[in-house]
Amino acid sequence: MLRKNNYHLIKMLRFSKKILLILIFIYFILYIPHLCYATKKKTISCKAVIFSDSTKVKRLYGKNVHKKILPASTTKIMTALIAMQKLPLNKYITVSKNATRVVPTKIFLRPGEKYKVRDLIYAILIMSANDASVVLAEAVAGSEKNFVKMMNKKAKQIGAKHTKFANSHGLPTPKNTQYTTAYDMYLIFREALKYPFFRKAITYKYKNIYSKNGRKITLKSHNKILFKNWKKKIYGKTGYTKAAGACFIGTLKKGKSTLIIGAFGCPKRWNDIKYIVSTYGGIRL
């Protein structure tokens, strides 16, 4: 009788052990994907990020939003903003020799050529042309130095109190005297979005512009999102220097809301942006 009881006890223990192993297996199958997902959430490479619903004035995600960063060519958003406010879009302005001396990225404008303001704004927003930035600055203020004063004044008016511009294009300056924050760039970009011309300009993958004498220049957007097979496009302005790293600030729609995503100092710019918008915006890209 004792042997029989022992036999049944051993059998029950073996059965329980099998059940336990099966439960442990099921647990890990269900839990490990969540563990990986949680780990993935911590791998955003950008130094600073802001992702907001600007219509509802609601922050969806933020990382170091008030940390000082270098703007690189996102600086040109402010250049475009002031040019749109101060100059008629169809006015022809002349390229100076000084403007052609700036280092690339540029579209190799020639001294004495005349271009419409709208075409030079296309050039700085689509192809990040440094020479076009200087031409616009000189046309607005007489010199780039005077234009920079206007940029800094405008930044303060918008509420970008932790921003200082030193040129019209975003190229590095000695001792990094040009800086901003993700939050300040969000404010500047939001202001620029009030202009229909700006909203349209940042949507182009390609755009042809012409000098008054008919010289054609083909612009190709630096925004690689426009060339990716994403379900939804994000329209905006890129930036890159070795010191600043890869940057981007752009916009997309979700229902009736306008969302703005700004990412600065990113080793994995496009991957980070896609992940942030998908995860915190609930938008499949």
Q: State how far the Cα of 209 lies from the Cα of 217, in Å rounded to an integer.
A: 5
Domain ranges across the chain? 46-281
Nearest to 240 by CA among 137, 169, 191, 152: 169
Q: State how far the Cα of 74 lies from the Cα of 165, in Å rounded to an integer.
A: 11
Residues of the chain above pLDDT 90, percent? 84
- Judge whether residue 33 has pLDDT over 70: no
pLDDT digits (tens, 9 = 90+) for 119-151: 999 999 999 999 999 999 999 999 999 999 999
Residue 47 appears among annotated catalytic residues: no
Q: Which CATH superfamily is domain 46-281 in?
A: DD-peptidase/beta-lactamase superfamily (3.40.710.10)
Task: Categorize the per-residue pLDDT at 35 as very low, low, confident or very high, splitting at 50, 70 and 90.
Answer: very low
- Judge whether residue 4 has pLDDT over 80: no
Q: What is the mean pLDDT of residues 180-195?
A: 98
pLDDT of residue 14: 61
Higher pLDDT: 206 or 39? It is 206
- Judge whether residue 95 has pLDDT over 70: yes
Q: State how far the Cα of 273 lies from the Cα of 262, in Å rounded to an integer.
A: 8
Which of 47, 52, 76, 106 does the annotation list as catalytic?
Answer: 76
The mean pLDDT value of the chain amounts to: 91
Helix (H) or strand (E) holding 262: strand 257-266
Give the bridge partners for 90, in sequence order: none
User: DSSP of 162-187, one letter per residue?
Assistant: T-B--SSS----GGG--BB-HHHHHH
Interior angle at CA 251, CA 277 and CA 169, nearest 5: 120
pLDDT of residue 17: 60
Residue 148 near residue 183 (C-beta atoms within 8 A): no
Higher pLDDT: 94 or 43? It is 94
pLDDT of residue 22: 59
Least confident of 2-16, 119-133, 217-231, 261-275: 2-16
Q: State how far the Cα of 187 lies from the Cα of 260, in Å rounded to an integer.
A: 10
Reduce the DSSP state of residue 264 to 3 states and report it: strand
Task: Categorize the per-residue pLDDT at 21 as very low, low, confident or very high, splitting at 50, 70 and 90.
Answer: low
Residue 128 appears among annotated catalytic residues: yes
Q: Is the dihedral of CA 98, 101, 102, 104 positive or negative?
A: positive
- Judge whether residue 30 has pLDDT over 90: no
- Judge whether residue 200 has pLDDT over 80: yes
Which of 52, 96, 128, 211 does the annotation list as catalytic?
Answer: 128
Put simply, whether the predicted model's pTM sits higher than 0.75 gets the answer: yes
- Judge whether residue 198 has pLDDT over 50: yes
Token pair, residue 87, equals: 């100059």
pLDDT of residue 40: 46
Residue 16 appears among annotated catalytic residues: no
Task: Categorize the per-residue pLDDT at 37 as very low, low, confident or very high, splitting at 50, 70 and 90.
Answer: very low
